[in-house]
Chains A and B, each alone.
Chain A
Amino acid sequence: MIAVVAARELRALFVSTVAWAWLAAGAGLVAWMVYAQLESYQRLAPRLGLADGAPGVTDLVALPGVQAAGLVGLLLAPLVGMRLFSDELRTGRIALLLSAPVSVTRLVLGKFLGAMGLFVALWAGVALLVASLALGTPLDAGKLAVALGGLLLLYAACVAAALWLSTMSSQPAAVAAATYGLLLLLWVIGQTADADSVLRAISLGFRFERLLSGVLHAEDVAYFVVLVATFLGLAVVRLEVLRAGTGVGSARWLPWTLALLILAAAGLGLRLAHRYGGAWDMSAGARHSLSPQSQAVADRLRAPLRFTVVAPDYGGLRAPVDQLLQRYLRAGLDAAVELVDPDIHPERARQLGARGPVELVVEYDGRTERVSAPSERSVTAALQRLALAGERWVVAVAGHGEADLIGQANFDLGELGAALTRAGFRPQPVEIATAGGIPDNAAMVVLAAPQAALLSGEEAALVAHLERGGSLLWLLSSDPAMDPPALARALGVQRLPGVVVDAAAAAVGADDPTVAVVSRYPDEPAVRNLSVLAVFPRAAALDVTPPAGWRGASLLQTGAQSWNETGPLRGELRVDAAAGERRGPLSLGWALSRSRAQAGEQRVVVVGDVDFLSNAVVGNAGNLDLGLNLVRWLTENDALLDIPPRAAPDLRFDPPRWARLLPAVFLFGVPVGCLAAGLGIRYVRRRR
């Protein structure tokens, strides 16, 4: 019987020219929105690149289209819904319906489903339109599916609201006005509310937009179901009151009691959904969730965390941070989030040390980290720093013109230092002589190509550091005279004369033969995960004889076309065995390790080159990755990994030739077709 009522409603809509005109306007508007977005996307696309979380066609074209379709629904629902019952009330046809052998619930459901028919048609058109973008790019199907599901739910809620109000008055215009008011109120009510406020929980706009974010919250689906059920339930109560009349005595309050019960049940439903509802990231590559790396860091945090977001409440500055933090909360991080508006509480913002327009302060276990450009990478890095027990100092020996871990010159190691900071370390230059030795809380010591010989005391301090079981990264300078001899002896390191030249350099595009290339790594823990080649300018080859008790392994091997050239680097170069030149493969770097007396392993890495990590070179090939992996191994933090950037799958839009006709079809064909259908049906039916 629901089907009979629904079919009549649907037929009434599709024999009405007005409904076809609405459909034409709605479809045309959404198509215009989508193609306007597509045009600006195509201009923007080359600049988006591979930035972390770069949005693609789904985000910048399809979803704005779905959003526009949502607003079209918001505008159409009152027009379609205003007649559902008010016309029946006005013409007295309600008597026909109420005297039929059909329950009021079925009448209401039938009317609702019938009116939904028009919206399903509009929805199908929108779905087809955005799906047609898949001809030019691999759309993010999961994200789009959630958004389209949300659109249908939004339509259902709008129609249900209009249906309810149409039972309240026999004047369609009054119903339409009331429905507009109600829907707009529900739409905007959560705009400026706090994250946990009730207003946001009942806001149509907030719920719908969250469904466009690619993350499916069970709570949001429940919200729309509850909203539809509430409006339909209120409509049923209203019609039963019309049938039964307003009673006398206590019966008079029965409908009000019922309505209140329905609202209470709705509230309870929302509360339960909020409490127990899950969330699933449906986007391609789950790029709206934490990466496994961040998840691992989040899992290591034990105590509750506190995020304070200092951001003004305008210009959409807060939303990205909020969404970012939601990823961590969804991942099970026990954290409280506080928003501070620096315009309203400048004093508090100053206390928090906020400098940029958006600043995130993370507090954990009595310690604080600041993140001034919040991204998953920077926040996870902050969490990692907080998770590390105590401070992890990377001590760089300074005072002899060493390459500086926080320096910005071409030969300095500032880039590496910054990467280490992100990974939770604190690089600290230390002059051994002034500091009176090497601090024993150093996770690792870096000796990076001193340009002057170390004093004997300093050298002794380094050897003592080794004897204490400390880790060392020793990067040799190109001048053999600067190698501290005691250290070399202690580690059994010998430098081959000359500089390594490599014919393979030309193959990787270097015009300098003194660039050695390492393209394959042995199965050693320090380099196991690497697959990208690394380049080593003006490197020295090493010969290492691990001292007793140490285990040694060559990590960096050049190819067969390399040798250590001792002569001047001019003209044709050839191997001269008499001068001590050796044909490759040559070793450029070694890993040495031995068990510590206490827990763990003492680790040392010696590389016959410093330039490969210098600011000028470290960005080439896989050099930075190699450097980070070496540090992780040295500090026994092999588990700490950098987070790879994740971009949308649909960055390029390249449709086949014939598909270029589609805009014409959707922009003109469909709307004109709808109008023609409406007028044609009207003409045929009136002529009979």
Chain B
Amino acid sequence: MPPLLEVSQLERRDAGRVRLAGVSFTVAQGEVVGLLGLNGAGKSTTLALIAGALAPSAGRVLLDGRDLATAPHALRACIGFLPEPPPLYPDFTVDEFLRFAARLRGMDRAAARTAATRVRERCGLAQVGRRLIGQLSKGYRQRVGLAQAIVHDPPLVLLDEPTAGLDPAQCREARELIAELGRERAVLFSSHLLDEVERVCTRVEVLHEGRPAGGFALRADGDSAGLEARFHALTGGAG
């Protein structure tokens, strides 16, 4: 099966500096790939480039074999993206915001309403649908962010630090949700928490200072010590 997402030689220059260069990897359907790296390694930039929020200076992003640069609108509709921090409108209620997010991804009014209701249940937001986002706790807000990323049922989900700011119980729920998403879709998420990556991911791509530092598959039984050692080896022992 061809990979759903294929990234090749991705490069981003901004304000005269090279932020990211030579990043290549693939993510297949049913895979949960973790993007690992220290702060400033280029994880967020990579995700934003794949999502289309930023345009690459060089390299290509292929989704289902089609270049994101040639059919940006059709392909962006197939991507769910949770940036960090989550893009929320505090003056809106959860329902209003999810409906807006669905419509922004091209759904019509009725479909958006149904999708918002469905995703609200799925992300455990049923109780707070009519509350203002600004009044929600950090955990709920993160869930709203997650919900907006999958409201349009995209085959590829990009999550930037999805568990940032969550308490351990919420972290576990989020991990379960991500694992569940990974069963029928391709999920690429960034994190600097090794144990989280280890529990959820089938594969890992490591970035270091804007360059690819290697990638490897994780065994299903979980080998935390092995992951940590390899990560430190790839990032030159820092962190």
Interface residues of A, Cβ cutoff 8 Å to B: 1, 4-5, 8, 11-12, 15-16, 91-103, 243-248, 685-686, 688
Q: Do the beta carbons of A101 and B74 come within 8 Å of each other?
A: yes
**How many Å lie between the Cα of A12 and that of B89 in the bound state?**
9
Query: Shortest Cβ distance from A22 into chain B, in angstroms?
Result: 15
- Chain B residue contacts of A95, Cβ below 8 A: 48, 51, 53, 81, 83, 87
Q: Do the beta carbons of A91 and B85 come within 8 Å of each other?
A: yes
- Chain A residue contacts of B73, Cβ below 8 A: 101-103
Q: Do the beta carbons of A91 and B100 come within 8 Å of each other?
A: no
Report 29 cross-chain contacts, Cβ distance below 8 Å, ordered by A residue: A1-B104, A4-B104, A8-B89, A8-B100, A12-B89, A12-B92, A15-B91, A91-B87, A93-B87, A93-B88, A95-B48, A95-B51, A96-B83, A99-B83, A100-B76, A100-B104, A100-B105, A101-B74, A103-B73, A243-B53, A244-B55, A245-B15, A245-B57, A247-B57, A248-B13, A685-B93, A686-B132, A688-B93, A688-B131
Q: Do the beta carbons of B54 and A688 come within 8 Å of each other?
A: no
- Chain B residue contacts of A686, Cβ below 8 A: 132, 135
Q: A92-B83, A95-B51, A96-B83 are in contact. Are A246 and B106 (CB under 8 A)?
A: no
**How many Å lie between the Cα of A103 and that of B71 in the bound state?**
12
Query: Shortest Cβ distance from B20 into chain A, in angstroms?
Result: 10
**How many Å lie between the Cα of A178 and that of B88 in the bound state?**
27
Residues of B146-203 at the interface with A, using a CB-CB cut-off of 8 Å, are 148
- B143 at interface (Cβ–Cβ under 8 A)? no
Q: Do the beta carbons of B89 and A93 come within 8 Å of each other?
A: yes
- B77 at interface (Cβ–Cβ under 8 A)? yes
Tell me the nearest residue of chain B to A16, going by C-beta.
B91
- Chain A residue contacts of B219, Cβ below 8 A: none
Tell me the nearest residue of chain A to B19, going by C-beta.
A245
Q: Do the beta carbons of A245 and B104 come within 8 Å of each other?
A: no
Contact with A along B66-97 (1 / 0, CB 8 A): 00000011111101010111011101110010
Tell me the nearest residue of chain B to A251, going by C-beta.
B57
**How many Å lie between the Cα of A548 and that of B32 in the bound state?**
122
- Chain B residue contacts of A11, Cβ below 8 A: 92, 96
**How many Å lie between the Cα of A109 and that of B16 in the bound state?**
31
- Chain B residue contacts of A15, Cβ below 8 A: 91-92
- Chain A residue contacts of B130, Cβ below 8 A: 688
- B60 at interface (Cβ–Cβ under 8 A)? no
Pick the 7 closest A-B CB pairs, nearest first.
A96-B87, A245-B14, A93-B87, A99-B51, A95-B83, A101-B77, A101-B73
Q: A4-B103, A245-B54 are in contact. Are A99 and B48 (CB under 8 A)?
A: yes
- Chain A residue contacts of B148, Cβ below 8 A: 96
Query: Shortest Cβ distance from A89 into chain B, in angstroms?
Result: 11
**How many Å lie between the Cα of A16 and that of B92 in the bound state?**
10
Q: Do the beta carbons of A99 and B53 come within 8 Å of each other?
A: yes
Q: Do the beta carbons of B106 and A1 come within 8 Å of each other?
A: yes
- Chain A residue contacts of B14, Cβ below 8 A: 245-246
**How many Å lie between the Cα of A686 and that of B131 in the bound state?**
7
- B12 at interface (Cβ–Cβ under 8 A)? yes
Interface residues of B, Cβ cutoff 8 Å to A: 12-16, 48, 51-55, 57, 72-77, 79, 81, 83-85, 87-89, 91-93, 96, 100-101, 103-106, 130-132, 135, 148
- Chain A residue contacts of B74, Cβ below 8 A: 101
Q: Do the beta carbons of A102 and B13 come within 8 Å of each other?
A: no
Chain B CB within 10 A, most for which of A1, A4, A100, A686: A100
- Chain B residue contacts of A243, Cβ below 8 A: 53-55
Query: Shortest Cβ distance from A96 into chain B, in angstroms?
Result: 4
Task: Choose from B13, B76, B91, B101 the contact partner of A101 (Cβ within 8 Å).
Answer: B76
Task: Choose from A91, A94, A99, A688 the contact partner of B52 (Cβ within 8 Å).
Answer: A99
**How many Å lie between the Cα of A247 and that of B48 in the bound state?**
17
- Chain A residue contacts of B77, Cβ below 8 A: 101
**How many Å lie between the Cα of A688 and that of B95 in the bound state?**
12
- Chain A residue contacts of B132, Cβ below 8 A: 685-686, 688
- Chain A residue contacts of B91, Cβ below 8 A: 12, 15-16
Q: Do the beta carbons of A247 and B13 come within 8 Å of each other?
A: yes
Tell me the nearest residue of chain A to B89, going by C-beta.
A12
Q: Do the beta carbons of B55 and A245 come within 8 Å of each other?
A: yes
Q: Do the beta carbons of A99 and B93 come within 8 Å of each other?
A: no
Q: A102-B73, A103-B73 are in contact. Are A96 and B131 (CB under 8 A)?
A: no
Q: Do the beta carbons of B100 and A4 come within 8 Å of each other?
A: yes
Query: Shortest Cβ distance from A653 into chain B, in angstroms?
Result: 44
Query: Shortest Cβ distance from B127 into chain A, in angstroms?
Result: 11
- Chain A residue contacts of B89, Cβ below 8 A: 8, 12, 93
Task: Choose from A12, A94, A99 the contact partner of B79 (Cβ within 8 Å).
Answer: A99
Other than the given A15-B91, A99-B79, A101-B72, 10 more pairs (CB < 8 A) read A1-B106, A12-B92, A92-B85, A95-B87, A96-B87, A98-B52, A99-B53, A103-B73, A245-B12, A245-B55
Query: Shortest Cβ distance from B143 into chain A, in angstroms?
Result: 16
Tell me the nearest residue of chain A to B54, going by C-beta.
A243
Q: Do the beta carbons of B76 and A99 come within 8 Å of each other?
A: yes
Q: Do the beta carbons of B55 and A96 come within 8 Å of each other?
A: no
**How many Å lie between the Cα of A96 and that of B51 in the bound state?**
9
Query: Shortest Cβ distance from B94 into chain A, in angstroms?
Result: 10
- Chain B residue contacts of A5, Cβ below 8 A: 104
Tell me the nearest residue of chain B to A4, going by C-beta.
B103
Tell me the nearest residue of chain A to B77, going by C-beta.
A101
**How many Å lie between the Cα of A100 and that of B75 in the bound state?**
10
Query: Shortest Cβ distance from A531 into chain B, in angstroms?
Result: 67
Query: Shortest Cβ distance from B111 into chain A, in angstroms?
Result: 13
**How many Å lie between the Cα of A323 and that of B135 in the bound state?**
58
**How many Å lie between the Cα of A219 and that of B130 in the bound state?**
50
Query: Shortest Cβ distance from B141 into chain A, in angstroms?
Result: 12
Query: Shortest Cβ distance from A279 into chain B, in angstroms?
Result: 43
